[in-house]
A = this chain, B = another copy of it.
Amino acid sequence: MKDLLWKNIQTVKQQSPLIHNITNYVVMNNTANALLATGASPIMAHAHPEMVDMMNICQALVINIGTLDEYWVTSMKKAISQANQLQKPWVLDPVGAGATPYRDKVLAELVALKPTIIRGNASEIMALAKNNTSSTKGVDSSAESNEAVASAKFLAEKFQATVCISGATDIIINQKREIHLSNGHPLMAKITGMGCTATAIIAAFSAVIEDKLEATVSAMALLGVVGQLAAAESKGPGSLQINILDKLHSITEAEFISTLKITE
């Protein structure tokens, strides 16, 4: 499995897929730099008249609702519709799911368009699942970590999506498999937009890897290992952000294979 994941990392660098990002203002610069350092090519655009054309030339799409508003939600729907038409993968990042009724209303509309992959933290994945459960039972669970897994399974089933819960342990789930990754570092939570970066890198892998669970695992494995290695050289969250970009660009096979912790 580790060799396969490393091969996928090389595939992204070789094919350099063009990724269309409709994402939030806070992370655009970092997201673009992370895609470049991974070997992909970023496009950030949102004008209604060019959403279909942009999707035609890109291989995958990121939908991140962090700083959504009415105009941008329409941009998202136009791009998603064309991605679905062309059967190109798109990844939903439900930033702040559950924070406001508006966010939940928009998310319900977006998730109904069937994202190929969904990535969020435990709280976002649980909110997204609750938001899409009509029964009052919801997705019950005794423990919170279990509840996130139950929520992810529910979403994977209902929308035929691959779902990634990112956190201290990243959990990637589809209707058949569940894979756990235990890399990363607590300091990564002190940088804004690490999750958004993860989502964009997942999109890059989904553009060139047929199996979307494998694509998601490859992306999260890369970022987790890179973050862990970069944290070991960092004095704080500022230098960590820089070191992650450097390491995404320079990571070797030996570093990746020896650091990665994966279980299925």
Q: Chain A: residues with CB nearer than 8 A to chain B?
A: 24-30, 32-33, 36-37, 42-50, 53-54, 57, 66-71, 96, 99-103, 190-193, 234-239, 241-250
Chain B residue at smallest Cβ distance from A44: B26
State how many copies of this chain the complex holds: 3
| Contact, CB under 8 Å: B37 / A190 | yes
* Bound-state Cα–Cα, A236 to B67, Å: 30
Q: Which of A42, A190, A242, A244 neighbours the largest number of chain B CB atoms within 10 Å of its CB? A: A242
| Contact, CB under 8 Å: A190 / B249 | yes
* Bound-state Cα–Cα, A29 to B50, Å: 25
Residues of B contacting A25 with CB < 8 Å?
A: 25, 28, 44
The answer to whether residues A36 and B238 also contact, given A47-B102, A53-B101 and a CB cut-off of 8 A, is no
Residues of B contacting A48 with CB < 8 Å?
A: 69-70
Residues of B contacting A67 with CB < 8 Å?
A: 44-46
Residues of B contacting A249 with CB < 8 Å?
A: 190, 236-238
| Contact, CB under 8 Å: B37 / A24 | no
* Bound-state Cα–Cα, A239 to B235, Å: 12
Residues of B contacting A242 with CB < 8 Å?
A: 238-239, 241-242
Residues of B contacting A42 with CB < 8 Å?
A: 192
Known: A36-B192, A45-B68, A236-B245. 12 other contacts (CB 8 A): A25-B28, A26-B32, A27-B29, A29-B193, A32-B192, A33-B192, A33-B241, A37-B237, A57-B100, A235-B246, A236-B248, A237-B249
Chain B residue at smallest Cβ distance from A101: B53
Q: Which of A37, A45, A71, A235 neighbours the largest number of chain B CB atoms within 10 Å of its CB? A: A45
Q: Which of A26, A49, A193 neighbours the largest number of chain B CB atoms within 10 Å of its CB? A: A26
Residues of B contacting A37 with CB < 8 Å?
A: 190, 236-238
